[in-house]
Amino acid sequence: MDRELEMLTDLEIVEKVKSGDRKSFSLLVKRHQRGLLRLSLRFAKDMGTAEDIVQEAFIKAYEKLASFEARSSFKSWLFQIAVNTARNKFRKAKMETTDIDDVHLAVGAVAESNLVQTAVADIIQREVDLLPFKQKTALMLRIYEDMSFKEISEIMDCPYDTAKANYRHALLKLRETFEQSHDLKNWSEQVGGFFTELTQRPEATE
């Protein structure tokens, strides 16, 4: 029976839960908890706070499941809840982030060399943390979670063009830092992903 459940899509599992099979919700938790924790850590930089965000997000998702109309994917809807939960925690607690050396997550999609990626991530992450919340969210979902602008717009609950604009504004600010940093220019040939985005014209990035 477990194998049969694991073969179901998120939407099929959602329908089972709505029909009274509440235990099936645990499979949705299993599928998405790692991605949700990864995203939450990029907001919180603290494992305890990130875990709280994830837990609250799943509780809210379960409580609101009856209102989920599948206009977007379940994952987008769940991530939207997590982003809103993180934003509310920032507003209420005015959380202070820890040093990037305590996290080691944001560098995962950026570089291969440990020494280079740590130094690069330190500079970039400081700048990412200074971005307005919406720009930071769009950037993290696009760069680190490799999401489409359609998915980002669903998660941020905004028009497609607005999601894209937030991402582009974030890129412009980071590219300015890139152009002004001698170290980043010297390292740009040794790292991939992120610098491909930074060095392109934002209006050409789809």
pLDDT per residue as tens digits for the range 96-132: 444 433 333 333 333 334 444 555 566 677 788 888 9
Q: What percentage of residues in the chain have a pLDDT greater than 70?
A: 70
- Whether 104 and 87 map to the same domain: the answer is no
Enclosing domain of residue 8? 2-93
CATH number of the domain enclosing 151: 1.10.10.10
- Whether 126 and 31 map to the same domain: the answer is no
Residue with tokens 């969210």: 137
- Whether 200 and 104 map to the same domain: the answer is yes
Domain's final residue, options 93, 115, 133 = 93
pLDDT at site 43 = 84
Q: What percentage of residues in the chain have a pLDDT greater than 90?
A: 43
Alpha helices in the chain (DSSP H): 2-6, 10-18, 25-44, 47-63, 74-93, 114-130, 133-143, 149-156, 160-180, 182-187, 194-199
- Whether 88 and 109 map to the same domain: the answer is no
CATH number of the domain enclosing 31: 1.10.1740.10
> Is residue 206 within 8 Å of residue 148, measured between CB atoms?
no
pLDDT at site 184 = 56
- Whether 72 and 107 map to the same domain: the answer is no
Mean pLDDT of the chain: 77
pLDDT at site 28 = 93
- Whether 19 and 85 map to the same domain: the answer is yes
Task: Indicate the DSSP class of residue 105.
Answer: -
Number of domains in the chain: 2
Q: What is the pLDDT of residues 7-66, one digit of tens each?
A: 899 999 999 999 999 889 999 999 999 999 988 988 887 889 889 999 999 999 999 999
Q: Is the pLDDT of residue 201 over 50?
A: no
- Whether 181 and 119 map to the same domain: the answer is yes
- Whether 29 and 46 map to the same domain: the answer is yes
